[in-house]
Amino acid sequence: MVANGVPLDITNDPELARLAEQVHETGVPYMLVRDGEPLAVIYPLSGKGAPRKPRRRRTGILRPDDALFELIGFAASGGPGDVSSNKHKYLADAYAAEAE
């Protein structure tokens, strides 16, 4: 059921039932127009023509509700094992070992 829609039983209304079946089968939404003025849109609840949930906009900002938020600072030790702080030393050691 649509979260903001009011259910309407069309069992006893063959014209609306036919239109609803056609929308469901084809996946094509229909806009209901009267005298050139759009009144409503009928769209399928599933399938290729169904409306999609809006995607979460990616801002590049990590928020506390993000899955990876708990990993911030996980590998930062600040000591001799901290690779990012000591990368130049480790590279120099590696090149020196190759030269031997």
pLDDT the model gives residue 47 = 64
- CB under 8 Å to 26, separation ≥6 — which residues? 49
For 42-100, how does the pLDDT look when each residue is reduced to its tens digit (9 = 90+)?
Answer: 888 876 666 667 777 777 777 788 877 777 766 666 666 666 777 888 888 888 888 77
- CB under 8 Å to 80, separation ≥6 — which residues? 86
- DSSP secondary structure string for all residues of 36-63: TEEEEEE--SSSTTSPPPPPPPP-S---
Domain boundaries, the chain: 69-99
Matching residue, tokens 């600072």: 73
For 18-50, how does the pLDDT look when each residue is reduced to its tens digit (9 = 90+)?
Answer: 998 898 888 888 999 999 999 998 888 876 666
Considering Cα of 56, then 62, then 68, then 69, what sign does the dihedral take? negative
pLDDT the model gives residue 15 = 92
